[in-house]
Chains A and B, each alone.
Chain A
Amino acid sequence: MILRQPSRILHVDGDTFFASCEVALDASLSGRPVWVGGGRRGDGIVIAANRQAKRFGIHTGMACFEAKRACPHGVLARPQYDEYRRLSKAMFEIMEDYSPTLVPMSIDEGFLDLTTMDRHVWRTVTAADYVNGLRARIQDELRLPVSAGLGRSTWMAKLATSAAKPGFVEVPPDCEKEFLADRHVSELAGVGKRRERSLAVLGARTFGDVARLPSTMLKQKFGIWGQQLWLFANGHWNEPLLLEVKDRTTISSSTTLPFDEPDYEAALIFALSESTRMIGQLRREGLQAREMSLVIRFTDFTESGAGHRFDHPQFLNSTINAVLEQLFDETMAGHAEPVRQIRLSFCNLKPLDTQPTLWGTTDAERWGALDSAMQRLESQWGSDAVLTGSQYALRHQDITHANPKSKCPFVPAREMAQKLWGEKLERLSQHHS
């Protein structure tokens, strides 16, 4: 894209975010090796380790007992996802003060548009002063360390952040080719094993190599993306920052049960309760689903699944749960092992048909009204104020289900944005979507 003014995009990324949150929440951990454990009981594998812990060779994906062996005086923190969410929100609120356009990417990273700041805001300061001011504020107010990178596109900004960690790096518009020349292509988000191999076949390991290839060859091999890559490697890729709120295309849930469940009836109740929650969420968003699928993972990590496509999109618990029961029976046929994990998803989403019928208000409208009333009650009295039969059964079935733990917040950008701006965003999205 050719723009008169080169874009200046800032990428901000929390350093070892979950581990840093733990330190921010408990000052006594400051300066000590800290890692956060994931898995069922929060002591399975390491999902985040701070810099002090990394010095001992502790890394994400390592088993917690190995981490303890490598660093006996380190601290294993059980994840507190709700707290991480709260800190993340506070972090984005600070970031919002620094630019009119903020695009959150995940719980701990986001992009800010700083284009034209040099002409209007940075009269007496440099970009580095401004960004370091932002980093210092997040450090002071939330005690969270963040790194940042500034470049002409989101791709460049992200690479600059990786180069900066920990700290801040700016890649000026005319130094991009030089900055990239010796960097390995796999550093770019979107370059996986397969693309890396395809590029290696063409003799391109670094961006410098890519820049020397003919652009037509890259276009032939990778399509539009290839051409973008060539422009990027040559320092010509300029991209404005847009907050694109895409419509939801799917809703899914994946839950590892607190313990391996040998009772299939109990597992079914869990699945029904989960589906009820998800269908309610869809209805609140004015959607209904045409396809659903269920996958069960057993103790021995084998999986079995089934799916169904309705002739017509559906939004009623009764219709969907009746099919879910059949899918569950199909999935479980011939199995006897305890259930470890239940994955449920709905896709092929369509807007709810709210056109009034000849016989009066539609079921969709009546259910919509019921859902929003339930949401109001829940916001006032807690999430167990109103329960459906299956949800009630689940609560009473087992004490471990009574207070479900909050889940790891791997939130898509759309939901992140929605949480930050709520209704404001819905108005926004009507213009942009």
Chain B
Amino acid sequence: MKISVTKDDLASGLQAVQNVVGARSTLPILSNVLLIASAKQLELRATDLEVSVHASVPAEVEREGATSMPAKRLFGLVREIEASEIEIEVSDKEVATVQAGASKYKLNGIGADEYPQQAKFKESGKVKVPQAKLKEMIRKTGYAVSTDESRHVLNGINFVIAPDRLTLVATDGRRLALVEEEIEGGTKAEFIVPNKAVAELQRLLQSSGDVVIRLGDTHVEFTLPQEGGEAIVLHSKLVEGNYPNFKQVIPGEFKERITLGKEELHHALRRADQITSDKANSVKLTFANDNLAITANTPEVGSGRESIAIKYKGPEIEVAFNPTFLMDPLKVLEGDEVFFELTDSLSPGVLKSNTPFLYVLMPMRTH
């Protein structure tokens, strides 16, 4: 294989795929990026066997061929190169010579035939969503996923596709974030995209253009067209198993609906959170007489009280929450107001905004 490619093209191609390569991987070849040179383009692929990302960049191909090279090193090298054109020539022994201006490097690669094959993918349905919309939906739900490896069905975002609607749900069992957007030309499907793929997707999604979601039995593929270039494709295994019935935990009714200033609430919680500890990680919210009092009390640290003026005439409600859980959605929601729906101190509270967003949070028990 012998190619010539601009530094910017190669750097952006590597930038798109290299993040999938883990710092510590079980197979040495997984630290490498696969390079395939064919008819005027260089295809790059990286995988950790669960998630793989493909990108293609324009290149002048003198001799077609394929190889794999250490991803982090190659990316580091290309980023530092000052010349605008880079030439890569790979010998029969899989040694790649990278030449740019006055720099010349030899990198040991591994044969392309040893690179893991992509799993067979049989498309059973597809849907097109604006990239900006999906990015926003992931931002509003992604923080609520579970990272507990003993609950693997929760280690991802649940995508529910209906003909006219796309719903994303994430939960770690104690809180649940749900966001719903209208789409066109959807099918009927439900699948769980693992955390790592979600993080990669969030990194790759742009603020313009569409993303095509192709669904298979065990895999999903996100195709992100690039301006004036080949699309980046993210291919991921799906989380196996059934997502818990999330509709069942969304309270159908509530007793009180309280409007709160988002920033004011967020800042008060951030201050009160300074008083909490590992052992006492709750703040108490008391709604009464047009006032919301937020109190934190940790025996070995101290105590604090915040007071926020609200419109509330109902009976006194006292409810304790993990402040981190309560702050998470406030960080990502737009708009000035949030709405808190409560029933009593033991039932889940629901946080809503002016957008199609819903956050269910289980109170903590206080003694």
Co-assembled chains A and B: yes
Say yes or no: is B120 at the interface (Cβ < 8 Å to chain A). no
Contact yes or no, B147 A312, CB < 8 A: yes
Contact yes or no, A355 B362, CB < 8 A: yes
Contact yes or no, B279 A314, CB < 8 A: no
Contact yes or no, A314 B150, CB < 8 A: yes
Say yes or no: is A90 at the interface (Cβ < 8 Å to chain B). no
Contact yes or no, B362 A356, CB < 8 A: yes
Known: A355-B174, A358-B174. A311 touches B278 (CB 8 A): no
Contact yes or no, B360 A431, CB < 8 A: no
Say yes or no: is A165 at the interface (Cβ < 8 Å to chain B). no
Say yes or no: is A359 at the interface (Cβ < 8 Å to chain B). yes
Known: A351-B278, A351-B279. A358 touches B348 (CB 8 A): yes
Say yes or no: is A403 at the interface (Cβ < 8 Å to chain B). no
Contact yes or no, A355 B150, CB < 8 A: no
Known: A430-B299, A433-B300. A355 touches B149 (CB 8 A): no
Say yes or no: is B276 at the interface (Cβ < 8 Å to chain A). no
Known: A350-B278, A351-B279, A430-B299. A357 touches B362 (CB 8 A): yes
Interface magnitude class on chain B: 20 to 34
Contact yes or no, A355 B364, CB < 8 A: yes
As a 0/1 sequence over residues 406 to 433 of chain A, the CB contacts with chain B under 8 angstroms (1 = contact) are 0000000000000000000000001111
Expressed in whole angstroms, the Cα–Cα distance for A354 and B364 within the complex equals 8
Say yes or no: is B322 at the interface (Cβ < 8 Å to chain A). yes
Contact yes or no, B174 A316, CB < 8 A: no
What is the distance, in angstroms, from A292's C-beta to the closest C-beta of chain B? 13
A interface secondary structure, majority: mixed
Say yes or no: is A310 at the interface (Cβ < 8 Å to chain B). yes
Which residues from chain B contact A316 at a C-beta distance below 8 Å? 150
Residues of chain A in range 287-315 having any CB-CB distance to chain B below 8 Å? 310-312, 314
What is the distance, in angstroms, from A142's C-beta to the closest C-beta of chain B? 37
Contact yes or no, B148 A354, CB < 8 A: no
Question: Pick the contact of A310 from B149, B176, B299, B363 — CB < 8 Å?
Answer: B149
Contact yes or no, B176 A311, CB < 8 A: no
Which residues from chain A contact B364 at a C-beta distance below 8 Å? 355
Expressed in whole angstroms, the Cα–Cα distance for A312 and B154 within the complex equals 13
Say yes or no: is B261 at the interface (Cβ < 8 Å to chain A). no
Say yes or no: is B365 at the interface (Cβ < 8 Å to chain A). yes
Say yes or no: is A124 at the interface (Cβ < 8 Å to chain B). no
Of B146, B174, B322, B360, most buried by chain A (CB within 10 Å of CB) is B174
Interface magnitude class on chain A: 20 to 34
Expressed in whole angstroms, the Cα–Cα distance for A312 and B174 within the complex equals 15
Expressed in whole angstroms, the Cα–Cα distance for A311 and B149 within the complex equals 7
Of A319, A358, A430, most buried by chain B (CB within 10 Å of CB) is A358
Which residues from chain B contact A351 at a C-beta distance below 8 Å? 278-279
Say yes or no: is B332 at the interface (Cβ < 8 Å to chain A). no
What is the distance, in angstroms, from A43's C-beta to the closest C-beta of chain B? 46
Expressed in whole angstroms, the Cα–Cα distance for A432 and B360 within the complex equals 36
Question: Pick the contact of B249 from A358, A362, A430 — CB < 8 Å?
Answer: A358
Which residues from chain B contact A354 at a C-beta distance below 8 Å? 365
Contact yes or no, B362 A358, CB < 8 A: yes
Which residues from chain A contact B348 at a C-beta distance below 8 Å? 358
Expressed in whole angstroms, the Cα–Cα distance for A351 and B298 within the complex equals 15
Of A353, A354, A433, most buried by chain B (CB within 10 Å of CB) is A353
Known: A351-B279, A430-B299, A433-B300. A356 touches B365 (CB 8 A): yes
| A-B residue pairs in contact (CB < 8 Å), sample of 15 | A311-B149, A312-B148, A314-B148, A319-B150, A353-B174, A356-B362, A357-B173, A357-B362, A358-B171, A358-B173, A358-B348, A358-B360, A359-B173, A359-B244, A433-B300
Q: Which residues of B does A touch, CB under 8 Å?
A: 146-150, 171, 173-176, 244, 249, 278-279, 299-300, 322, 348, 360, 362-365
Additional pairs, 13, CB under 8 Å, beyond known A319-B149, A355-B174: A311-B149, A312-B149, A312-B150, A351-B278, A355-B322, A355-B362, A356-B362, A356-B365, A358-B174, A359-B249, A362-B173, A430-B299, A431-B299
